[in-house]
Every structure is written in structure tokens, then in C-alpha cells.
């Protein structure tokens, strides 16, 4: 994930493989992301939602399969 320090309202870029081009879900510290700039098979760009905790995990779910939790601070 980039950046590793997350601030509500800024963008987050999540890089990986086997993402879908739509229909992915992302949670940041348990808070659902609702605004996506782009979704490709290798990258998701989204707006960090308000109300995220100071630290936690980013999780991407594609077709019901959740990724490993990636910690942030």
C-alpha cells in the first residue's frame, strides 16, 4: 500500500494481482472504502474514508476471497 501512513481524504494505492476491474471491496481499519478512482487487475486507487482508526489493517476482497491483512499506521 502507498502511502504507508494513511490520512482520511487522501488517496491510497493498493498494488497486487488478480484484482477485478470492478466489484472489489476494501476495508481500512474495518471501515469500508466507498470512493474508488480506479480498479485494474493489478492496482486499486481509492479515497481513504473518514473515521479510520490510527492503525489497523487494509483488506481487499475479490469475489468473496479476502486478501491477507496489510498493517498501516
User: What would the pLDDT profile of 16-69 be if each residue is shown by its tens digit?
Assistant: 999 999 999 999 999 999 999 999 999 999 999 999 999 999 999 999 999 999
Is 72 within 8 Å of 1 (Cβ atoms)? yes
Helix and strand totals (H; E) in the chain: 0, 8
Contacts of 70 (CB under 8 A, 6+ apart): 1, 57, 58, 59
pLDDT recorded at residue 73: 79
Is residue 72 a contact partner of residue 55, using CB atoms and an 8 Å limit?
Answer: yes
- pTM, full prediction: 0.91
Through-space distance between the first and last CA atoms of the chain, rounded to whole angstroms: 11
Given a cut of 90, is residue 5 above it in pLDDT?
no
Identify the pLDDT of residue 31.
Answer: 97
Amino acid at each position: 500500500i502507498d502511502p504507508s501512513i494513511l490520512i482520511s481524504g487522501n488517496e491510497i494505492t493498493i498494488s497486487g494481482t488478480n484484482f477485478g476491474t470492478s466489484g472489489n471491496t476494501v476495508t481500512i481499519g474495518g471501515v469500508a472504502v466507498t470512493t474508488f478512482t480506479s480498479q485494474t487487475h493489478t492496482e486499486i486507487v481509492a479515497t481513504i474514508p473518514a473515521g479510520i482508526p490510527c492503525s489497523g489493517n487494509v483488506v481487499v476482497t475479490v469475489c468473496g476471497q479476502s486478501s491477507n491483512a496489510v498493517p498501516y499506521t
